[in-house]
Structure 1
Amino acid sequence: MRARSPADPPLRRVGHKGADLIAPGNTFASFQAALAADVDMIEFDVLPEHLDGTGELWLAHDYEDARSRTPHTLEEGLAHFADAAYEGVELDVDMKLPGYERRVLEALRRHDLLDRTLISTMELVSIDRIRALEPRVRVGLSVPRLRKDPMKQPHTAVLAFGAAAVIKRVGPVRAGRLVRSGRIDALMSHWRLVTPALVRAVHGAGGELYVWTVDEQPRIAALEAMGVAGVITNDPRLFGPRPGAPLPTSG
């Protein structure tokens, strides 16, 4: 079993939608909460106004989310992240649908944020379009390709467990091939699919393995020990103080 070694980079702390358990996700308040929790990267969602990829680009996870509030636009969000307060914080731009890849890249260029951005998506067609349009930006494939968690419904949970077992067997080989071929730089995997074999395959091919969405401190610690590159959480306070950080003083 591969375990994190002293030579490995420190675990990357990634805030999901900013810090969705502290403040509503994909909002400036959530991004600021993630910043205050000392994250290395902030993940946020980009959804087009229309299913064909046209219209405004919103910071929203899905259309129900977008309808429940007035979402920030991508331009507003990137202007926020271009502020000096976020200097050194990386971005994970999670595209929810295909069809607006060029527009996302152009917006990142306008705000000079390409170099500290990873674009993630469940859509391989988007991965390939982004690679063709801008080879230097990092791309990550999110797996599995699901819009809702099947474990939350009893009638789908049994099938999901079976599917997860199959993915765990074949996933490491496929992931390694995708990284070695240069098609992706990172794999963004649900925590239920992460195994030592997957860690070895992705990192051995030169890629990064990020795990979503983990809101339990013991599971974060177990994944860190396994050697994953980063963990994505709704509550980045769970990471605790960084090793060597001074203890808070009283009074």
Structure 2
Amino acid sequence: MTTLGSAFVAVTLALTAATPAGTSAGAAGEPSPAAAGAPAPDRSGGPAVVAHRGASGHAPENTLAAVDAAAELGVEWVEVDVQRAGDGELVVLHDNDLARTTDAAERHPDRAPWGLDDFSYPEIAELDAGSWYGPEFAGERVPTLGEVLDRMDEHGQKLLLEVKSPELYPGIEADVVAELREHGWLAPRTLRTSLVVQSFDAASVRTLHELAPRVRTGLLGNPPVARLADHAEYVDQINPRHTTVTADYVAAIQELRGAHGRKLQVNVWTVNDGPTAFALAGLGVDGIITDHPDVVRAALSSGVASPEPVS
């Protein structure tokens, strides 16, 4: 049996064992919540489903519309990216430039390559960050981090915040902590259950941990097993690309205690089809980051991998 097949069997057995006698994950004649078109809650004990850049399979990434789309799908955890504009404002954007997800090139043809730090936030706020995705999102803006924090608070969502390219923005860790504090995201309950800050840059994550020791942190990437104990001193999660993980790697991470004394967690990215999500659940990952949280959640909640990936 292939590794993928073994994972499917493992998860199917686990789901069967968790189903009370006389019932099934989708009882005959009674459609599952996903099949009925209603948001299905994450299965207790299974991987958390995290909406990547908001529900970016449903709305333009890293916008308030994407945050709203995740809320409409009933997804608690939302991942977004933060960087710093030229005037110091923290903005939610993935790329280091504005070319791909806004009309900056059209509006400002003389300012190539449209680097984020070459524009003030008032200039950025005038850009269209939605039309590239679809005409129904025309006029959607690049939001500030504060706007996203407030909108997610309104929805009761939980935040996985990625600090992008911190080497370009000296001191951004302190700026992020200050913004989180200003918008009420450093309250004890939020810190325990609803906030993780991550980055690919280990030095940046360590700095953030030193500035705000109560904030849970994650290191993106695939550090070697021999270095995991070192990272565990200041992180709570190791979050690798999904194509690189194995059951042994997941187990090696989860054997360790993180900065807050709890078992290190593993969130994998970016997974957009049911079969892959189903197999990763069999490896024991703690979270799955996806552009299509509805597809992933349906596969995990029903115990049946959807047959077709989402393009």
Please, what TM-score do these two structures have when normalized by structure 1? 0.76
CA 1:36–1:120 in 2, change beyond 3 Å: closer, same or farther? same
1:1-251 → structure 2 map (5 Å cutoff): 9-50=45-86, 55-62=88-95, 63-64=97-98, 65=100, 67-68=102-103, 69=129, 70-83=141-154, 86-87=155-156, 89-98=157-166, 99=170, 100-114=172-186, 115=191, 116-143=194-221, 171-179=224-232, 182-205=233-256, 206-238=263-295, 239-240=297-298, 243=301
Cα separation, 1, equivalents of 2:74 and 2:47: 13
> Do the aligned partners of 1:45 and 1:59 also contact (CA within 8 Å) in 2?
yes
Worse overlay, 233-242 or 117-126: 233-242
> Do the aligned partners of 1:176 and 1:201 also contact (CA within 8 Å) in 2?
no
- The Cα shift of 1:132 comes to 0.9
**Structure number with bigger Rg:** 2
Aligned-residue identity in percent: 29
Query: For residue 198 of structure 2, what is the amino acid of its counterpart?
Result: S
Cα separation, 1, equivalents of 2:225 and 2:195: 25
Q: Deviations for 1:188-212, whole angstroms, at most 9, x for unmatched residues?
A: 1101111111110111112000000
Q: Deviations for 1:122-157, whole angstroms, at most 9, x for unmatched residues?
A: 11111111111110101101115xxxxxxxxxxxxx
SS of residue in 2 equivalent to 1:82: helix
Cα separation, 2, equivalents of 1:60 and 1:97: 11
- The Cα shift of 1:80 comes to 1.2
Runs (4+) of structure 1 exceeding 6 A deviation are 1-8
- The Cα shift of 1:38 comes to 2.2
The runs of 5 or more residues in structure 1 that have no matched partner are 145-166, 245-251
Q: Deviations for 1:142-191, whole angstroms, at most 9, x for unmatched residues?
A: 115xxxxxxxxxxxxxxxxxxxxxx7xxx233234422xx2211011101
For the aligned residue pairs, the C-alpha RMSD in angstroms reads 2.4
Q: Deviations for 1:54-77, whole angstroms, at most 9, x for unmatched residues?
A: 622111001134654341111111
> Do the aligned partners of 1:26 and 1:45 also contact (CA within 8 Å) in 2?
yes
- The Cα shift of 1:34 comes to 1.1
Count, aligned residues: 211
